[in-house]
Amino acid sequence: MTRHYFGTDGVRGTVGREPMTADFAIRLASAAAQTLVPAGGTVLIGKDTRLSGYMFEAALEAGFVAAGADVLLLGPLPTPGIAHLTQVFDADLGVVISASHNPYFDNGIKFFDGKGSKLTDEVERAIEARLGEPAITRESQSLGKAKRIDTARTRYQDFCAATFPDDLTLEGLKVVFDGANGAGYKVGPRMLSNLGAEVIPIGCSPNGRNINDGCGSTNPGLLANTVPAVGADVGIALDGDGDRLVMVDETGTLLDGDQLLYILATERKSSGRLNGPVVGTVMSNLGLEHAFKQQGIDFRRAKVGDRYVLETLKSEGGTIGGETSGHMIVLDQTTTGDGLVCALQVLAVLKRTGETLSKLASGMTKYPQTMLNVQVAEKMDPDDSPAIQSAVREAQAELADGGRIVLRASGTEPVIRVMVEGRDPDLVGRLAERLADVVAQAAA
């Protein structure tokens, strides 16, 4: 059975349209409770700063309590913080209300199991199998209880800080922090400041509607301008729920997830702390693969989605991996992608080596890459279209061995992503436009 509601990162959509309604949230909570939470079990619920988070928090609380689960409400907290606290509180399930990097009028719901890991496809299918049933309400003596946890932020903040080496501090480092007006807006600046950094916060004034709006990892222009303007050493940008990270070097140049992965992997290689292969995705830049080859670092590609990076890391015995978008995973520090934890690992390299961020990233040359999103009315697999596949073969022949083409359906949006990369930027751009036109015609 295929998943109808769950994508690569939980359930997501526009608020007020199925499935992002209060009624669906109640049914989803009931289905998840019956699938994963034993009688008297505990569920943690956290959220980002979207206005609709209040509604979904209340609906999920009702669904879980009615099904007999106790609920702990954490309030605004980065997604990885909820994964961590699910373990701290020995809960059976962690729930995140967030649409990550999407605008405020979208929202989503995703889950962590009791070990702080994302649910498998099989478990998500089991939850979906119950969604056609009405939400259950147990008798009064079997209902759950709910209470708010006021220490959630400081607990997570202390956890993040503990991943920074004891023999280092951030003293003397000037950092611009962009919280995307999202879940990390408070914990990020306070943690960095406690470690000794001079922090200049931007994107840290959420109002319920400005999450990811002109700020954060998907809109880093303000950060790139601010860092050199104030003479900062580095800039850090999270997305709305705090599991993505991009950084800006001292010149204002953006470093994406591939470049940050390169910095972490090469430092670990040189210090003898790199275990297993480094894992990227099919979208990781070809320049990263070539740079790792020159360094003698084993590199593997997983499907798009940090959950698949994580699965490959575990199966191959690796500890670090990530996506170009900035979903970074450092398994010897945490169980899931964590923007703040990964930022601290990069800052530790910066402090230990004494190098600038631009110098640390200079060993990797990014190949020109064009990504186009083609809107589709209904979900489709580009591999099923003979016309698309013929166009892909022709384009790949023009690139020869000097480039790659990837077409994939987004797991979070109704789009087909067309990615072309290679040494010649003009050729890359032309081929991407040509393929996007073919995809649009096939989807019409």
Any domain includes 300: yes
Q: Angle between the 339-353 and 187-194 helix axes, to the nearest 10 degrees?
A: 30
Residues 234, 211 share a domain: yes
pLDDT in tens, 156-178: 999 999 999 999 999 999 999 99
Q: Return the HEC string of 28-92.
A: HHHHHHHHHCCCCCEEEEEECCCCCHHHHHHHHHHHHHHCCCEEEEEEECCHHHHHHHHHHCCCC
Which residues are bridge partners to 329 per DSSP?
A: 321
- Final residue of a structural domain among 323, 342, 361: 342
Share of the chain above pLDDT 70, in %: 99
Any domain includes 59: yes
Residues 88, 30 share a domain: yes
Residues 203, 93 share a domain: no
pLDDT in tens, 64-90: 999 999 999 999 999 999 999 999 999
- Beta carbons within 10 angstroms of residue 430's beta carbon: 15
Any domain includes 52: yes
Residues 323, 374 share a domain: no
- Final residue of a structural domain among 207, 224, 254: 254
Catalytic residues: 100
Residues 238, 183 share a domain: yes
Residues 97, 15 share a domain: yes
* pLDDT confidence bin for 377, thresholds 50/70/90: confident
Residues 282, 246 share a domain: no
Any domain includes 203: yes
pTM over 0.75: yes
Any domain includes 363: no
Q: What is the CATH number of the domain that holds 381?
A: 3.30.310.50
The residue among 98, 23, 87, 103 whose CA lies nearest residue 58 is: 23
pLDDT in tens, 266-325: 999 999 999 999 999 999 999 999 999 999 999 999 998 888 999 999 999 999 999 999
Residues 218, 249 share a domain: yes
Any domain includes 244: yes
Residues 313, 402 share a domain: no
What pLDDT is stored for residue 224 in this prediction? 98
Domain count across the chain: 4
* Strands 146-148 vs 70-76: parallel, antiparallel or unpaired: parallel
pLDDT mean over 320-339 = 94
Q: What is the CATH number of the domain that holds 89?
A: 3.40.120.10
Any domain includes 100: yes
pLDDT in tens, 120-154: 999 999 999 999 999 999 999 999 999 999 999 99
Evaluate if residue 61 carries a pLDDT over 60: yes
Residues 85, 200 share a domain: no
- Final residue of a structural domain among 327, 342, 357: 342
Residues 126, 20 share a domain: yes
Domain that holds residue 63: 11-150
Residues 284, 375 share a domain: no
Any domain includes 166: no
Give residue 340's identity as a one-letter amino acid code: L
